[in-house]
Structure 1
Amino acid sequence: MRRRGLLAAGLAAPGIAAPGIARAQARAIRVVNAYGAGGTADIVCRLLFGRLAERTGQNFVVENRPGGAGTIAAAAVARAPPDGNTLLYDATAHSVNPALFGPRLPYDTQRDFLPVFLSLVTPNTILGSTLFAPRTVPALIAAAQAAPGTIDAGTTGIGSAQHITLALFNTMAGVRINHVVYRDAPAARNDMVTGRIQLQFSNVPGSVTPFRAGTARVLAHSGQAEVAVLPGVPAIGATLPGFETYEWNGIFLPAGTPEATRRRLNAGLNAAAAEPAVAERLAALGGLLRPNTPEEFAGFLEGQFALHARVVREASIRVD
Structure 2
Amino acid sequence: MPLSIDRRRALALASSFIAAPWLVPRAGRAAEAWPVRPVKYVNGFPAGGATDTLSRVLCQKLSELSGQSFVVENKAGAGGVLGADAIAKSPPDGYTVGLGGIASNVLAIGSYAKLPYRPREDFTFISGMWQLPNILTAKKDLFSADLKELLAAFRKEPGKYTYASAGFGTTLHLSGEMMNSMAGVQVRHVPYRGAAPALNDLLAGNIDLLFDNLPGSLPSVRAGTIRPVAVTAKKRIAELPDVPAMAELLPGYEMTSWAALVGPANMPPDLVAQINALAAKALNDPWVKQRYADLGATTWPTTTQEITAYRDSEEGRLLPIMKAAGIKPEGGG
User: TM-score band, normalised by the shorter chain?
Assistant: 0.7 to 0.9
Query: How far apart, in 2, do the equivalents of 1:294 and 1:112 lie?
Result: 15
1:29 to 1:15, Cα distance in 2 relative to 1, 3 A: farther
2:57 counterpart residue number: 47
**For residue 309 of structure 2, what is the aligned residue in structure 1?**
299
CA contact (8 A) 2:131 2:299 kept: yes
2:96 counterpart (70, 79, 86): 86
Alignment of 1:23-172 (within 5 A): 26-94=36-104, 95-102=106-113, 104-172=114-182
Secondary structure of 2:112's match? Answer: helix
Mark the CA change 1:212 to 1:264 in structure 2 (over 3 Å): closer, same or farther: same
Structure 1 unaligned blocks of 5 or more: 1-13, 18-22
1:97 aligned partner, one-letter code: A
Number of the residue aligned with 1:238: 248
> Is the contact made by 2:195 and 2:212 (CA closer than 8 Å) also made in structure 1?
yes
Paired with 1:97 and 1:201, the residues of 2 have a C-alpha distance of: 18
Give deviations 1:153-200, integer Å, cap 9, x for gaps: 222322222111000111111211111234554554455456543322
Aligned to 2:27: none
The 1:227/1:191 distance shift into structure 2, 3 A limit, reads same
What is residue 20 of structure 1 aligned with on the other side?
Answer: none
| CA distance in structure 1 between the aligned counterparts of 2:77 and 2:209, rounded to whole angstroms | 25
* Secondary structure of residue in 1 paired with 2:257: strand
Give the Cα separation in 1 of the matches to 2:328 and 2:157.
23
Q: 1:212 to 1:144 in 2, by over 3 A?
A: same
- Is residue 247 of structure 1 aligned with residue 266 of structure 2? no
Q: What is the TM-score with the length of structure 2 in the denominator? A: 0.79
Look up the equivalent residue of 2:187 and give its one-letter code. Answer: I
Q: CA distance change for structure 1 residues 43 and 211 in 2, over 3 Å: closer, same or farther? A: closer
How far did residue 204 of structure 1 move? 0.7
TM-score, normalised with respect to structure 1: 0.82
Structure number with bigger Rg: 2
- In structure 1, the residue corresponding to 2:129 is in which secondary structure? strand
Is 1:117–1:292's contact at 8 Å kept on the other side of the alignment? yes
Partner Cα distance (2:244, 2:186) in 1: 22
- Compute the displacement of 1:281 (Å): 0.9
CA distance in 1, matches of 2:220, 2:84: 33
Name the CA distance, whole Å, in 2 between partners of 1:194 and 1:42.
Answer: 22
Q: Aligned to 1:178, which of 182, 188, 193?
A: 188
Distance 1:167 1:193, change over 3 A: same
Q: How far apart are 1:109 and its partner, in Å? A: 0.9
Amino acid in structure 1 at the alignment position of 2:282: A
1:266 correspondence with 2:276 = yes
**Taking every aligned residue pair, what percent have the same amino acid on both sides?**
32
For 1:299-318, list aligned pairs within 5 A: 299-314=309-324, 315-318=326-329
State the distance in 1 between where 2:250 and 2:266 align: 42
CA separation in 2, counterparts of 1:291 and 1:280?
A: 15
Rounded Cα–Cα distance in structure 2 between residues aligned with 1:27 and 1:193: 41
Match of 2:227 in 1: 217
The C-alpha deviation readout for 1:134-164, integer Å capped at 9, x for no partner, is 4332222222222222222222322222111
SS in 2 for 1:231: coil
Which has the higher mean CA deviation after the structures are superposed, 160-169 or 41-50?
41-50
Match of 1:279 among 278, 284, 289: 289
How many residue pairs were aligned? Answer: 299
Q: Could you say what secondary structure the match of 1:116 adopts?
A: strand
